[in-house]
Chains A and B, each alone.
Chain A
Amino acid sequence: MHRHLAFTLSALLTLASCGSSGLSGYGTGGGGGGGGGGGIAGPGPNVATLTVKIGPAGSTFVNIPFVTITVCAPGTSNCQTIDNIEVDTGSTGVRIMASVLNASLLSALPQQFVGATATPVVECAQFADGYSWGPVVSADVSISSEKASGIPIQVMGDSAFNQIPPDCSSPVPNEEDTVGTFGANGIIGVGVFAQDCGSACATSIVAGTYYGCPTNGAACAGILEPTNLQVSHPVAAFASDNNGVIVELPGVSAGGAATATGALVFGIETESNNTFGNATVLQTDPLSGTITVTFQGVPYPLSAIDSGSNAFYFTDSALGVCAQNTAGAGFFCTSTNLSATITTLANTQLAANFTIGNATTMIVSNPLAAAYPQLAGPIGATDAQTFDFGLPYFYGRNIFTAIEGHNAGPSTGPFVAY
């Protein structure tokens, strides 16, 4: 959703002396609970505060969860604490915008090189709406009391590497290398995969992924990138609590809230605050990380439960789409209760009930909100592949995401559970 719309509306509201509120209270969690038992985990060494709020200046999206992390040059006290880091269960790896790193730290993060000529490795990170380009460096990444030492991360938008290869930009020609265009100071990808690309990039050169960019200014060229050098899951590198995460968010009232504060809990079945409780494990496809969602009789094989998606996105031609030039343009303007069925490879089936609202009404009524639990939109006229349970599905739930190959209680990742 475009933040400039919200600005316009908030100005109107101010004129009307309505104040900024409408931030009705949200559920307060179970106090010290967490995990599959419900409630939000209290403070602990494996718990980071997770906040859905308006992002940093220039960002335009709602329903984005943020945490604060600390990035250090490996093994040193040259560190920087960075807020407004998006938490994304639909990608893997830490990516930080170069513009938010102080010069001392940026220059101290060791560049990864390839080949005998020590050519810098630079990554093109693909998203459905654009790409981020920048070098692969090594860093210590800390969050709560957990620490990943010397992991490969990406620095997005580093001006030292300003020649973007054509096959990086050609899939979706929208560079997202500023805080404003990306919508965050960085991202912490805590999805089901241990690395962002995996074996595909280690066994063949894949366009739009990893490149070697010679320091003499010659054109970047695609490279093979071994999995152990790829931008990787930070949690897998923790000394403990390293098999996955739980995103815990309170329920939010239907009309939306200015903020929603929950927890990002590290580890699954490793501590008293991250047990399954009554959660159902949904194994995801080992290659795509997806689940199959059946909605109105149609199976969608590339579906996901994804904190990095900011709404429910699916196909239902019976639902009205908000008109262009209205606050909810691009989203649904119908309020209704819906139900889908999630089916996994192991043939586990789980009913998924959810409620969507009129996007224009919710935005006009509560223009300063960042958390809209009923925001939903069409994924395309009729996308044949994807049903997307985005962040709205996380409100009032504790949703586990386990890393491939890692044991978690009686189960083994990759899976999601709730």
Chain B
Amino acid sequence: MKALKTGSLTVALTVAALAAASRALAGLGGDISSIDADRISLKGALTAFSTVKGYAVHEITTDAGVHVSEYLTSDGKVFAVSWHGPFIPDLQQMLGAYYSRYARAASAQHAGGHRHLRIEQPELVVESNGRMRAFSGRAWDPALLPPNFTAADIR
């Protein structure tokens, strides 16, 4: 077993199990262990832990300086992710099981030029904004948003 110390979390996983599971567990819709899979995949460190309206938010900062936040329901499921920084992070990792529908929608014709992309589906909203060295965005599943939690609370 290899112990991976991540701020306040210490997660023990075998490297082999991690390699096999990291995509499946990843990101949006995943459980709390997926945050560490994301952290490893994004080559980041867990840099902050906070709460918004009582819900846990884990912030990962990547080597490249991108800040990624993952929002958890009270039973430990990732219901939203957000990012800002000089690059757009690997959304295949962060969107997990939602990625394929994101990919289909992203390649459809859109109106916003090169600075904005907004995808809105019943179970997935993705917003990608910005320009070289200053990107930001968010993704969430409206069906997973906890009571009293709105999109405006995803920062």
Q: Number of contacting residues on B, CB 8 A?
A: 45
- In the docked arrangement, what's the CA distance between A390 and B130, Å? 11
Q: Are A288 and B111 in contact (CB under 8 A)?
A: no
A308's nearest neighbour on chain B, judged by CB, is: B114
- B110 interfacial by beta-carbon distance below 8 Å: yes
Q: Are A173 and B118 in contact (CB under 8 A)?
A: no
Which residue of B84, B86, B88, B115 contacts A200 across the interface (Cβ within 8 Å)?
Answer: B86
- A275 interfacial by beta-carbon distance below 8 Å: no
- In the docked arrangement, what's the CA distance between A193 and B138, Å? 26
Q: Are B133 and A287 in contact (CB under 8 A)?
A: yes
Q: A125, A175, A207, A378 — which one has the most chain B CB atoms within 10 A of its CB?
A: A207
Q: Which of B40-80 contact A (CB under 8 A)?
A: 63-65
Given known pairs A90-B132, A204-B64, A330-B118, the reply for A382 and B151 (CB within 8 Å) is: yes
A6 shortest CB reach to chain B, Å: 11
Q: Are B112 and A200 in contact (CB under 8 A)?
A: no
Q: Are B111 and A330 in contact (CB under 8 A)?
A: yes
Per-residue CB proximity of B13-36 to A under 8 Å, as 1/0?
A: 000000000000000000000000
Q: Which of A167-190 contact B (CB under 8 A)?
A: 167, 170-176, 183, 189
A146 shortest CB reach to chain B, Å: 23
- A302 interfacial by beta-carbon distance below 8 Å: yes
- In the docked arrangement, what's the CA distance between A85 and B143, Å? 43
Q: Are A60 and B132 in contact (CB under 8 A)?
A: no
Q: Which residues of B sit under 8 angstroms from A130, Cβ to Cβ?
A: 106-107, 114, 117
Contact surface of B with A, Cβ cutoff 8 Å = 63-65, 82, 84, 86-93, 99, 102-103, 106-107, 109-118, 125, 127-138, 151-152, 154-155
Some 9 contacts from A to B, beta carbons below 8 A apart, are A91-B132, A126-B87, A126-B132, A130-B107, A183-B114, A330-B110, A377-B116, A379-B127, A381-B152
Contact surface of A with B, Cβ cutoff 8 Å = 1-2, 4, 60-61, 63-64, 88, 90-92, 125-130, 166-167, 170-176, 183, 189, 191, 193, 196-198, 200, 204, 206-209, 287-290, 302, 304, 306, 308-311, 313, 329-331, 377-386, 388, 390
